Amino acid sequence: MTNSIAEIEDAACVFIIGSNTSTSHPLIARRVLRAKEKGAKLLVADPRAIQMSHFADVAVNQRLGSDVALLNGMMHLILKNGWEDRDFIKARTEGFEELKETVAAYTPQRVQEISGVSPADLEKMSEIYATRRPATLLYTMGITQHTTGVDNVKSVCNLAMLTGNVGVASSGVNPLRGQNNVQGACDMGGLPNVFPGYQQVANPEANAKFTKAWGRPLPDKPGRTLPDMITAMSEGKLKALYVIGENPKLSDPDANHLKHAFNNLELLIVQDLFLSETAQGAHVVLPAASSAEKDGTFTNTERRCMRLRQAIKPLGNCLPDWEIASRLATAMGYPMSYRNAEEIFREMAALTPSYAGMSYERLGIDGLHWPCPTADHPGTKFLHPVQFTRGLGKFHAVQYQDPRELPDAEYPYYLTTGRMFAHYHTGTMTRVSPALDREQPTGYVEINPQDAFKLKVREGEVLVISSPRGRIEAPAKISPEMLPGNLFLPIHFGENPTNVLTNSEALDPLAKIPEFKVSKARVEKLVE
Amino acid sequence: MYRLVPSVCSYCGTGCGVLFEVLDGQLLKTLPLKTHPVNQGKLCIKGWNLHEFVNSRMRLQSPLLKVNGRFHDVTWNRALQFTAEKLKGIIEKYGPDSVGVLVSAKITNEENYLLQKFARAVVGTNNVDHCARL
């Protein structure tokens, strides 16, 4: 997030696009409702009529994968009506002329043809977002999990910059991170191209710095992303995989293809709390301590680094992940001897400029927002107040492109995926929780009442959903939240493994994110 | 002995402050941290039940090694020796880029730091990624 969670309350407009906020981030949804109570206008754009849509001043259901067209259409109207922030554009940005030229073609009529959003709604949304400032924009995987994921993100940034909604309190472009420490995993260099603090492995200076600190020559060629690793596994180029706290066999696209790739491995090491689907196929399984059983820090979606404290002893013979990693490194001939998590934090902070001013003592209970470069720096609530990381903010003129798959005669439905309120990811943590299991014990396929009528299917009857990759079964959940011709499957259930249907070849060319949010599918009633 | 231990929820990326309620070394319940700047004393259904997965009977408790298709409990030394030898063999035979390490959005910063250091300095590969896209 460019801004922090508390700031949402004081926005004059909140625009939610591609985020089922009340389900996936309930305590952020609370801030949105607070903002409404204080007089903010709420805009919600989502292919489903989600709970937040019912609270919205304007709610639209854009067709799956049509976000670029919708956002370009908003910018078209903002420019046509002179609602843009000319001072901000002049002082802080570049590339405005190209953007203007591109969005000129996105007339309300054309946007309606692509996205199904009416010109009247588009006009209302554009006016509210551009004229009620500060406006904050919230999004999640509904924006990113597309072959055009990067284009979608560029488009939301364009919209925020066009209206001067960056670098000001309660504004900004705010991706809500889905996992407790996904921000931290990225910050710590858990990516193929960067060291901690986004220092490029290919940059000779950064590489020399870490080579010196770690006492070993380090590779300078960026490595493989997760989808590339899976391709390399099926081609027999990647022989060993070390998986920590992750269940790719259920979470990654095209499960059947994935099974084949995993079978090719000579060594699969899985480090986890549970014997997940992925761990079951491992050669060796290392039992890890849970977050209640160790010290350390997490960095949340607003870049706030916070301490967790050990509450109880690790269960059985479990060890914290840092201790397992240290022991394994030592066994490999690279001695690591950290006495506690704090020692590792100090080593990391000394090498990572955005964390350099942090210490366990300073973090206390509330934590600190990065960047926090020095020991007397108070942390940074919102980014880019004076200039962007690269200097001027660049408008990227983006043309709309269809998702990789559109429905056809054989597969006439749109299929999309997401979370349920009581569950989390592949369910390894939530499905073993009695209270959460009682709330939502099974998966389902959500379908519009008209479609259910056509299929002569009643609530709870089993449907067979198929795509070019495979087929699964799931009980029908008939719901007016779905548009006709659209299906929704939650991602949490091994017995209705949604990712048998999704496409591992439809990736964003730059971010390599799979297009989980749009597949084509067929649906039939199960004939026994 | 009864203790309240401040910590952070490990479900979504919001990062709500929690208090773990501990009695005689047993984790009893999860409570919201009243003064926390993120959640201000509130939690969602997952947060209120955070302790349940920690106490689950399904948790792994010992390192497992697969022999002839079946898992067996082994000591840490045995498991780590096996892993280190196998990894070293693969690195020698096929080079460091034949190894991939998936770090995690679920573990701490310290652990992510150490595991990417393990991949880059010990194995010698930049094949490091995690589930950020999922």
The DSSP bridge partners found for residue A514 are: A507
Q: What is the pLDDT of residues B12-45, one digit of tens each?
A: 999 999 999 999 999 999 999 999 999 999 999 9
Same domain, B35 and B8: yes
pLDDT the model gives residue B133:
80
Please state the pTM of the whole predicted model: 0.95
pLDDT the model gives residue A505:
92
Same domain, B49 and B64: no
In whole angstroms, what is the distance from residue A99 CA to residue A105 CA? 11
Mark yes or no for CB contact B124/A421 under 8 Å: no
- Which residues fall within 8 angstroms of residue A19, CB to CB, at 6 or more apart? A25, A46, A138, A139, A140, A142, A143, A176
Mark yes or no for CB contact A5/B114 under 8 Å: no
- A215 φ/ψ sector (left φ>0, alpha ψ -120 to 50, else beta): left
Same domain, B90 and B100: no
- Interface confidence (ipTM) of the complex: 0.98
Same domain, B6 and B40: yes
Q: Which domains does chain A have, with CATH numbers?
A: 5-176 (3.40.228.10), 178-221+288-374 (3.40.50.740), 224-285 (no CATH), 413-525 (2.40.40.20)
Mark yes or no for CB contact A328/B118 under 8 Å: yes
- Cα–Cα separations (whole angstroms), residue A214 to A242, A334, A443: 21, 10, 47
Helices A96-103 and A67-80, axial angle in degrees (round to 10): 100
CB A440 within 8 A of CB B54: no
Average pLDDT, chain B: 97
In whole angstroms, what is the distance from residue A5 CA to residue A412 CA? 40
Same domain, B81 and B125: no
Which amino acid would we find at residue A388?
A: F
The DSSP bridge partners found for residue B29 are: B21
Comparing alpha-carbon positions, the chain B residue that sits nearest to A293 is B54
Q: Over 90: is that where the pLDDT of A109 sits? A: yes
> Average pLDDT, stretch B114-128?
98
In whole angstroms, what is the distance from residue A225 CA to residue A192 CA? 6
Same domain, B118 and B80: no
pLDDT the model gives residue A306:
98
In whole angstroms, what is the distance from residue A94 CA to residue B43 CA? 42
> Average pLDDT, stretch A457-461?
97
Residues 228-247 (A) with a CB less than 8 A from some CB of B: 229, 232-233, 237-246
Q: What is the pLDDT of residues A164-216, one digit of tens each?
A: 999 999 999 999 999 999 999 999 999 999 999 999 999 999 999 999 999 99
Distance of CA A22 to the CA centre of its chain: 15
Mark yes or no for CB contact B131/A311 under 8 Å: no
Mark yes or no for CB contact B110/A297 under 8 Å: yes
Query: What is the H or E stretch that residue A446 is in?
Result: strand A445-447
- A139 φ/ψ sector (left φ>0, alpha ψ -120 to 50, else beta): beta
pLDDT the model gives residue A246:
92
CB A187 within 8 A of CB A197: yes
> Average pLDDT, stretch A445-457?
97
Q: What is the pLDDT of residues A39-74, one digit of tens each?
A: 999 999 999 999 999 999 999 999 999 999 999 999
Q: Distance, in angstroms, between B34 CA and closest chain A CA?
A: 12
What is the total count of domains within chain B?
3
- Which residues fall within 8 angstroms of residue B66, CB to CB, at 6 or more apart? A282, A283, A284, B72
The DSSP bridge partners found for residue A284 are: A269, B65
Question: For the domain that residue B11 is a member of, what is the CATH number?
Answer: 2.20.25.90
In whole angstroms, what is the distance from residue A319 CA to residue A295 CA? 12
Query: What is the H or E stretch that residue A498 is in?
Result: none
Same domain, B6 and B26: yes
Residues 106-125 (B) with a CB less than 8 A from some CB of A: 106-125
Domain that holds residue B117: 96-134
Task: Tell me which residue of B80, B27, B101 sits closest to A245, measured CA to CA.
Answer: B101
Same domain, B89 and B101: no
- Cα–Cα separations (whole angstroms), residue B83 to A274, A284, A526, B50, B90: 19, 7, 45, 32, 11
In whole angstroms, what is the distance from residue A439 CA to residue A422 CA? 7
pLDDT the model gives residue B132:
78
Same domain, B65 and B85: yes
- Cα–Cα separations (whole angstroms), residue A464 to A475, A479, A488, A499: 9, 17, 13, 14
Same domain, B41 and B10: yes
Mark yes or no for CB contact A345/B109 under 8 Å: yes
Task: Tell me which residue of A479, A444, A448, A437 sits closest to A465, measured CA to CA.
Answer: A444
- Which residues fall within 8 angstroms of residue A124, CB to CB, at 6 or more apart? A58
In whole angstroms, what is the distance from residue B6 CA to residue A359 CA? 17
Q: Which residues from A are below 8 Å from B19, CB to CB? A: none
In whole angstroms, what is the distance from residue A91 CA to residue A352 CA? 31
Q: Which residues from B are below 8 Å from A421, CB to CB? A: 44-45
Query: What is the H or E stretch that residue A413 is in?
Result: strand A413-418
Same domain, B37 and B75: no
Q: Which residues from A are below 8 Å from B103, CB to CB? A: 185, 188, 190, 244
H-state helical runs in A369-495? 434-439, 449-455
Q: Over 90: is that where the pLDDT of B131 sits? A: no
Same domain, B100 and B81: no
